Amino acid sequence: MLSRIGVRLAEPLDNPARAALRLAAAAVERHVFPVILSRIDQSWFECFGFRVERVPPGDESGGQDGTAHVLEPHDHHRRL
């Protein structure tokens, strides 16, 4: 079973390339699958090959309750 590491974005990052590099290194080192939940339209993680799930502005939980839908190639409706 693959573990996950979560990242929640509420505002744009100053240096998304550096953040993506650090996240990729952590994912490889710890054998985890990054889960990125974003309230912003363009997080830039997409440009680096990460899957980003949008959290609607009106959703107060923002994925905090662990019920965010994460889409993966082998399981398109898996709940965390």
For residue range 30-61, list pLDDT tens digits in order: 999 999 999 998 889 999 999 999 998 776 65
pTM above 0.85, yes or no: no
Q: How many domains does the chain have?
A: 1
Q: Where are the beta strands (DSSP E) in 1-80?
A: 3-9, 32-38, 52-54, 69-72, 75-79
Task: Give me the domain span that covers residue 64.
Answer: 3-79
More confident residue, 78 or 3: 3
* Single-letter code of the amino acid located at 10: A
pLDDT score, position 58: 72
> Does 69 score more than 80 pLDDT?
no
Phi then psi dihedrals of residue 35, to 5 deg: -120, 115
pLDDT score, position 57: 76
For the chain, the first-to-last Cα distance in angstroms comes to 13
> Does 72 score more than 60 pLDDT?
no
7 in Cβ contact with 23 (< 8 Å): yes
